Amino acid sequence: MCGFVGFADFKKDISKEKNILENMNNTLSKRGPDEDGFYIDSNVALSHKRLIVLDPNGGKQPMIETFSFGSYILVYNGQIYNTQELIEVLKENNFIINSHSDTEVLLKAYILYGKDVVNHLNGIFSFAVLDTNKKELFLARDHFGIKPLFYTFLDGTFIFASEIKALFKYPGVEKVLDEQGISELFGIGPSHTPGTTVFKDIYELKPAHFAIFNSSGLHIERYWKLKSEKHTASFEETCDNLKFLLNDSITRQLVSDVPLCTFLSGGLDSSIISKFVSDYCKDQGLPPLDTYSIDYVDNDKNFVKSDFQPNSDNYYIDIMTKELYTNHHRIVIDTPELAESLEDAMIARDMPGMADIDSSLLLFCKNVKQEKTVSLTGECADEIFGGYPWFFREDALKSNTFPWSISLKERQRLLNPYIGSKVKLKDYIDFRYNESLSEVEILDTDSPETAEKRKISHLTLNWFMQTLLDRSDRMAMYNGFEIRVPFCDYRLAQYVWNIPWEWKALNGREKGLLRHISEDFLPEEIVYRKKSPYPKTHNPSYLKKVKQMLSDIMKDKNAPINNLLNRNYILEILETEGKAFTRPWFGQLMVGPQLMAYMIQVNMWLEKYNPKIEI
């Protein structure tokens, strides 16, 4: 896992701009704390920050392969999980493999396949390859965008990086927040429209897309999407196929030369991952699996049951650690550090995010990094298998908007009245919502319920899941730590996409089918535990802390948040401890303290990034 930056211009000489390249690359030090590398010629500059996971000597970047006709130079962030199969194909085609680094395999696979290489990769990746003979740069991003890649243009120069902050180190690239950016930030945020960012003229390469940059400009193409097809397997065959795909996906992702662990919450998803990994360790004669969970000071004492969070995790974690004989570690976060890390979490995302839902993961990864470098998690099972309440709740299904963000009136009211008169959030959200739904392929053979759930699944996979994947990458890589998500294997997602909803929601339960196949290998209490989201703090001292932080900000009438948001409404939110905002800001967790923490992050972002507002 790593980060990279670069810029290219095939119409002018950039060979003397190494200092710019170094400044850009230094912003990614947290993504790659182990080493860096540089390549620059008259038209292209590439640089890399490396987190060593595989083959310390054989995976150095930029990696160069030179031939009589020219060279190929690669910078890459990710992990290829079908490396061994690719090695066999490469050897059949007379390639010599000198290391066990997936970086070398990726570069030589590109030399073999060209742009079609993306159709031969199973993994998480973003990368750029320069072909000096063709004078062309090829860039690509994995199927679900687990690894990031952003870009912009300035006077014809193509500039790209693993994080947005690096782009702003290129002289002349400005931080501008325009009408669309405001709509993204306060209408869609902390999610975002695929391909966009909150900054004007700063873009992301969409998931499952590749790009070619040459003297004629930038050409972007989609290489994969979920395909709607009639599901023909029997129920028993479907269960067997799912077990195979799960085992294969998890096992592939255990490749590592550094210590590896799993996150274990005692929920169904993380328990499945931990079970398969634990069994693998036993089969291979390895030491017991290390598992990690997050908790908060006095959380059990202050826990309050809700529809979204019916129980705490510790009881179920104990069941699983005894079942699997894992070496379990409980990371306990205290309130002050949770609030104090809101700024780091915002910087990691380059925008306000999920408040302490982000900062808690950042701190969790920071603690686990002291002992491990890679973890597998159960994220994305809810999106793939239909685990969220909005798959079942009529108010969400009939909301005609993104079901995790139905607080449209409250979001509009939050804008500064002048900006609110110019920016109509509902119009923008409606446009993005309908634009996204137009991509869904419904089959004539789909039942009405399956057709409806295809739509909600499409939205969840392309918007909500992307937000959580962004969170995982940024919070983990801010600590030089790698998170892997086996449920996000594109083959598994494709297979589950076409399973009839009546099977997915077996017995009327969220993730009913996944629960059913887990009966063979997990305790019943885990299999049928009601879904509980990522744990947040219930300690009242956190509410007190963020309320004080936001109050201090609002005492300053010149605080930059007042230029964007409705000061009176924020004061009302403060006075009611968030209750004036009647719905969660985002998903299931961002209420009360999290909403106030989000306001704090907005002000921090305005102070730190100081975008020019164009409205």
| CB 123 within 8 Å of CB 142 | yes
One-letter amino acid at 71 equals S
SS3 of 592-615: the string is CHHHHHHHHHHHHHHHHHCCEECC
> How does strand 203-204 pair with strand 176-177?
unpaired
Total residues belonging to the chain: 615
One-letter amino acid at 283 equals D
How far is residue 249's CA from residue 251's CA, in Å, rounded to a whole number? 6
Which tokens sit at 457? 């699944």
DSSP labels, 214-262: ETTEEEEEE----------S-HHHHHHHHHHHHHHHHHHTT--SS-EEE
Beta strands in 358-485 (DSSP E): 374-376, 482-484
| CB 542 within 8 Å of CB 356 | yes
Q: What is the CA radius of gyration of the chain?
A: 24
Q: Which residues, in sequence order, are bridge partners of residue 415?
A: 565
Angle at 147 between CA 146 and CA 152, to 5 degrees: 125
End-to-end CA distance of the chain: 39
Which tokens sit at 483? 């998170």
Which tokens sit at 120? 């031969």
The label of the residue with tokens 């006077």 reads 155
| CB 456 within 8 Å of CB 400 | no
Alpha-helix residue ranges (DSSP H) falling in 73-154: 83-92, 102-113
What is residue 584's three-state secondary structure?
coil
Distance of CA 290 to the CA centre of its chain: 23
Segment holding 331, helix H or strand E: strand 327-333
| CB 111 within 8 Å of CB 104 | no
Of 355, 470, 456, 454, the residue nearest 403 (C-alpha): 456
Active site residue 2: yes
Of 55, 48, 96, 52, the residue nearest 73 (C-alpha): 48
Alpha-helix residue ranges (DSSP H) falling in 499-592: 501-504, 512-518, 524-527, 540-554, 561-564, 567-575
> Which residues are known to be catalytic?
2
